[in-house]
Amino acid sequence: MNELPKRKQIRLKEYDYTQNGYYFITVCTHNRQNLFGEIVGATLRGRPNNPDKMIEKWLLKLENKFDDVKICEYIIMPDHLHFIISKTGDHTGSPLRDIVGWFKTMTTNEYIANVKNNIFPQFDKKIWQRNCYEHIIRDENDYITKTEYILNNPLKWELEHIYEE
């Protein structure tokens, strides 16, 4: 029997992801499917019926679901999204995996319902990749760098994809 490949550990082993701080998170669609729209003129043009707006709605609802979470910056791209959250509070906060997991569950449920009603485009097996990428923001310069990355992501996308046509 062939052994399954080991999954790369992307989290810091000794870091407590429930503690206060700022986190840069990237969530990608399964197989990098372009489900949410296309980049035109360095901005996202949503698909018909706006699946990008549905993603935005659930992203912003994280603040209501988790008392210790605030969305600071975000960008929705055709096949992924980046966002920075701030976790604050007097006690141990919500684990990052719970926050991202809830977001993926809510968006998946609504996306599937809209596919069944012929509103959103079909998808291949799943909406989201299993993991996400998270980066602990260490200081103000790191925050500025990640914010600039978010703001420049549509332009970067457009420049990378201009030669594919």
Q: Which fold has domain 21-164?
A: Alpha-Beta Plaits (3.30.70)
Q: What is the pLDDT of residue 6?
A: 52
Q: Can you give the residue ranges of every domain in the chain?
A: 21-164
Mean pLDDT value across residues 90-114? 91
**Residue 100, pLDDT above cutoff 50:** yes
Give CA angle at 134 (131, 140), nearest 5°: 170
pTM of the full structure: 0.87
Going by pLDDT thresholds of 50, 70 and 90, the confidence category of residue 137 is very high
User: Is the per-residue pLDDT at 13 higher than 80?
Assistant: no
Q: Is the dihedral of CA 124, 127, 131, 137 positive or negative?
A: positive
pLDDT reading at 118 higher than 90: yes
What pLDDT, in 10s, does the model give residues 55-86? Answer: 999 999 999 999 999 999 999 999 999 999 99
Question: Quick one: pLDDT at residue 113?
Answer: 97
Contacts of 28 (CB under 8 A, 6+ apart): 79, 80, 128, 129, 132
* Measured distance CA(84)–CA(154) in Å, rounded: 16
